[in-house]
Structure 1
């Protein structure tokens, strides 16, 4: 079955706009069993997750939804701040009567969004899966932006050749990426990256005692984003991008990457007394390049919470 299409989605009317969503694997869900909610990264549509959806094969209850302004969801009258996005999701759940407990799956900026939702509903969260959520994609760096201007990330970083989508899924993903409506919403989201980080930092989630999630598990997945940024640097310099100072700052960022990323990843274990660390074998977009890893960790989390065995 095709993934996120006009034939498969439902709509939640939030009053000011509608959000498209798809419920999967929920037919036999019992009241005490968790439902997973997926948060794609900044400027990203749920279409990127088609391979993960396919690999899960309806085995886990999941809410797949599209943020305002993407694919079948209408634009919101409010700016896409992390707090507003969390509140809109909360309204979707209330309107549709999709009750918890919830497990939050956040990729990149989606990790920030999932933690904002955790702030809204801390007692309803049964676990979290955080996928490369602390990378430089989260906080823009002027030097990186200058050197990589005009660099085609998808081609340079090999995603065209290494993604695991079917031709139909890839076409749906690319059609969405090229839609002017998508581009307009993506621009609005990019402006929210730094405010979102500051808003989240002010909540001091990682140092609260006792831990917010208690014994509910958190899975932290780190990818190899540094290698992608190194490839983009080479192509950017070949294109003549950036001043010498901007290139120097870029190289300095690369030199500090592993240490800072590892420290930030480990800090995420402050959310819970129970954690699991996983290293992906690919670049930042694990949902495209290593979807089997994400499907496996989602199943592991489901089994851990329910005692169910696939």
Structure 2
């Protein structure tokens, strides 16, 4: 595809980056030079199949780009990354995104819209391209301090989930608003993304440490460019998992005690971690959503669209 074709119309396809093909998709109004475009960034193991609701709400008023990281969704595995140190995974994902956009001819200004661990990748991209980023909307993002302050004991939590369906337990099935075909596509990609998901999950705590060394909060890296932080109710979901697991007779007494202790103060810790991201800029606002859990992108896309509009309007001032 010719470079300028990524700037008009709706397109999707693959672009070769350092020996492997990455998937890129775009929709929304044709690009007007100098106007911001939105760059979406998925969480661990996530891919473009998770974002159709958000894209439908954004594309009427802003051009939206979504890509799949190497080994996820429709993107090829980067076999050259086999010996990569896990602490640089987010840095390298940000480098891939930078190269992908440049090869597609998509210059800034950018509005970065990440979710969960995608916040680490997006902020590594910000580190590379801060002059081209005009704002951010951070959706339930992890930060450089998440595993230090609010670590999740995955093995014992999963023991409580034995034989249970997480999406059913926490009510996502009822609240999510994808079409049946979109939900099926996401479930299929989640299964296929398993190997790369495991790689990213292992690297996650170390990538937090790598980002932390850059002191973005202390530097207020975005200056006065607008930042919106959207928080759902992830802590509520962990409480629901605990209650359902105990009711099902899952887990040993020791495992239940460990998860119960983990839940102590989780609401306050999550609130503190999310609000600290406001320090990225002197112009920021915090949005607490009461309905959704962690997966805001499946449950309340209009809230994300509203914050992107706020960033767009504020960045013009």
Per the normalisation by structure 2, the TM-score is 0.86
Check whether the contact 2:111–2:136 (CA below 8 A) recurs between aligned residues.
Answer: yes
Kindly provide the CA deviation profile for residues 33-67 of structure 1, in whole angstroms up to 9, marking residues without a partner as x. Answer: 11111111111122111111112243211111111
Kindly provide the CA deviation profile for residues 224-276 of structure 1, in whole angstroms up to 9, marking residues without a partner as x. Answer: 11111111112223444444333223222222112211221221111101001
Aligned equivalent of 2:222? 213
Kindly provide the CA deviation profile for residues 77-120 of structure 1, in whole angstroms up to 9, marking residues without a partner as x. Answer: 21571111111111111211210111111111111111111111
Deviates more, 1:134-143 or 1:48-57: 134-143
Aligned equivalent of 1:198? 209
Over 3 Å counting, the alpha-carbon distance change for 1:286 and 1:242 in structure 2 is same
Looking at structure 2, the residues matched to 298 and 188 of structure 1 have their Cα atoms a distance apart, in angstroms, of 31
Query: Which structure 2 segments of 5+ residues have no match?
Result: 1-9
Measure how far apart 1:204 and its partner are: 1.5
Deviates more, 1:137-146 or 1:269-278: 137-146
Q: Secondary structure at the match of 2:77?
A: coil
Match of residue 42, structure 1, among 26, 41, 44: 44
Looking at structure 2, the residues matched to 205 and 250 of structure 1 have their Cα atoms a distance apart, in angstroms, of 32
Q: Spell out the pairing of 1:209-248 with structure 2 (5 A cutoff).
A: 211-248=220-257
Check whether the contact 1:129–1:221 (CA below 8 A) recurs between aligned residues.
Answer: yes
Aligned equivalent of 1:15? 18
Measure how far apart 1:171 and its partner are: 2.1
Q: Say whether residues 1:287 and 2:293 are aligned partners.
A: no
Deviates more, 1:82-91 or 1:57-66: 57-66
Measure how far apart 1:151 and its partner are: 4.0
Looking at structure 1, the residues matched to 70 and 28 of structure 2 have their Cα atoms a distance apart, in angstroms, of 24
Aligned equivalent of 2:153? 141
Deviates more, 1:107-116 or 1:237-246: 237-246
Kindly provide the CA deviation profile for residues 156-210 of structure 1, in whole angstroms up to 9, marking residues without a partner as x. Answer: 111111111122222221222233xx111111111111111111112111112xx
Looking at structure 2, the residues matched to 192 and 241 of structure 1 have their Cα atoms a distance apart, in angstroms, of 29
Measure how far apart 1:68 and its partner are: 1.1
Q: Say whether residues 1:94 and 2:99 are aligned partners.
A: no
Looking at structure 2, the residues matched to 75 and 8 of structure 1 have their Cα atoms a distance apart, in angstroms, of 22
Q: Secondary structure at the match of 2:265?
A: helix
Q: Spell out the pairing of 1:183-194 with structure 2 (5 A cutoff).
A: 183-194=194-205
Match of residue 162, structure 1, among 175, 178, 187: 175
Check whether the contact 1:42–1:108 (CA below 8 A) recurs between aligned residues.
Answer: yes
Check whether the contact 1:112–1:200 (CA below 8 A) recurs between aligned residues.
Answer: yes
Aligned equivalent of 1:4? none
How many residues matched?
296
Check whether the contact 1:131–1:220 (CA below 8 A) recurs between aligned residues.
Answer: yes
Check whether the contact 2:153–2:262 (CA below 8 A) recurs between aligned residues.
Answer: no
Aligned equivalent of 1:251? 260
Q: Secondary structure at the match of 2:51?
A: helix
Aligned equivalent of 2:3? none
Aligned equivalent of 2:113? 105
Check whether the contact 2:231–2:287 (CA below 8 A) recurs between aligned residues.
Answer: yes
Q: Secondary structure at the match of 1:9?
A: strand
Alpha-carbon RMSD across the aligned residues, in angstroms, is: 2.2
Q: Say whether residues 1:128 and 2:136 are aligned partners.
A: yes
Q: Secondary structure at the match of 2:278?
A: helix
Match of residue 278, structure 2, among 269, 273, 298: 269
Aligned equivalent of 1:152? 165
